[in-house]
Amino acid sequence: MMNGALDFHNIHKPPKGEEESDSRFGSLCLGIVSALLTASIIIIIRMSGVLYRQEVNLSEMKMKMEILENRAEILLRDRNDLNWMLGVILTFDLFPVRDFCRENTGCQPCRRGWTLFQHRCYLFHEDGWFTWQEARQLCQDRHADLVVIDNLEEPEFISNRTDFYFDKYHGYWLGLNQTGSSWVWVDGRVDTLGFWMQKPFSFPGKNALLVPNRNPTTSWAKADSEFKNRFICEGKALTRS
Ligand SMILES: *[C@@H]1O[C@H](CO)[C@@H](O)[C@H](O)[C@H]1NC(C)=O
Ligand SMILES: *[C@@H]1O[C@H](CO)[C@@H](O)[C@H](O)[C@H]1NC(C)=O
Ligand SMILES: *[C@@H]1O[C@H](CO)[C@@H](O)[C@H](O)[C@H]1NC(C)=O
């Protein structure tokens, strides 16, 4: 039994020469493995370096893209503003540059003497009194028209800028007159606001007058077009911002 066990041991024990070459082979393997390992570590370190740089590059590029997108947006807005300005300029035969623009301050949305409100320019004409047709012509000569009231803030703005003068029958012509049974604004739209005075004057006509110092929503009077009054012109603003 003892011998048998010993034999059994001996069978699995390699001869002395083989043992030596085996350990050399082993250390060679170990060397190769550790070299590979080192190489892998170096590669991993390099790769992570590259990866890190790429990530940095990516975030830098994203930042640059954002900046470019912002610039593109600004340019688009500028282009639209310039197109708007060109559109307004092209409505004139002779554009009154000096009324809108000065060398040191640039161009204003409205001419001197006109007031900006919600991207529109208004002229409260208080020099002299005119018939409705004369007033309209004077507005049109300035590439505008008699005022059209088309929102709920405009009456308050106009009411703030107009004053009582001469007597209670006088006011400011609006771009509104009667055509058939409807009241039509000079831009062709039928009036839906109807801000008429509650107690109308006893001599009505077919043109609409704004009577100052009244509640803005009950301040219009019907008047004859030959009656002479102050008036309000409304035109496009040269710049939107
Ligand atoms: C990062 O970007 C630069 C140019 O800005 C380029 O030269 C470099 O190769 C990039 N690096 C990586 C890792 O992509
Ligand atoms: C009109 O004037 C009043 C009082 O001064 C002011 O509170 C209001 O904002 C003005 N409204 C407009 C549209 O100008
Ligand atoms: C009424 O207004 C229109 C423009 O909307 C104009 O052509 C017409 O001459 C005006 N009529 C009177 C009587 O003012």
Distance 177 CA to ligand 3 centre (A): 6
Q: Quick one: CA dihedral 129, 130, 135, 139, positive or negative? A: negative
**Ligand 3: residues whose CB is within 6 Å?**
132, 177, 184, 186, 206-207, 225
What does the longest C-alpha to C-alpha distance in the chain come to?
Answer: 145
Q: Which of 115, 124, 156 to mutate to test the pocket of ligand 2 (most atoms within 8 A of CB)?
A: 156
Backbone angles phi, psi at 214, to 5 degrees: -125, 170
What's the whole-model pTM score? 0.75
DSSP notation for 151-210: SSSHHHHHHHH----SSTT--EEEEEEEETTEEEETTSPBP----B-SS--SS--SEEEE
In which band, very low, low, confident or very high, does the pLDDT at 240 lie, cut at 50, 70 and 90?
A: confident
> In the prediction, which pLDDT does 44 show?
94
**Ligand 2: residues whose CB is within 6 Å?**
153, 156-157, 160
CB 206 within 8 A of CB 132: no
Average pLDDT over residues 219-229: 95
pLDDT(83) > 90: yes
The CA distance from 164 to 211, in Å, is 8
pLDDT digits (tens, 9 = 90+) for 16-49: 666 777 888 888 989 999 999 999 999 999 999 9
**Ligand 1: residues whose CB is within 6 Å?**
50, 53-54, 57
> In the prediction, which pLDDT does 1 show?
46
The CA distance from 13 to 170, in Å, is 129
Q: Which amino acid is at 103?
A: E
Q: Which of 57, 60, 62, 65 to mutate to test the pocket of ligand 1 (most atoms within 8 A of CB)?
A: 57
pLDDT digits (tens, 9 = 90+) for 3-15: 444 455 555 555 5
Counts of helices then strands in the chain (DSSP H, E)? 5, 10
In which band, very low, low, confident or very high, does the pLDDT at 171 lie, cut at 50, 70 and 90?
A: very high
pLDDT digits (tens, 9 = 90+) for 116-161: 999 999 999 999 999 999 999 999 999 999 999 998 999 999 999 9
pLDDT digits (tens, 9 = 90+) for 88-119: 999 888 999 999 998 888 899 999 999 999 99
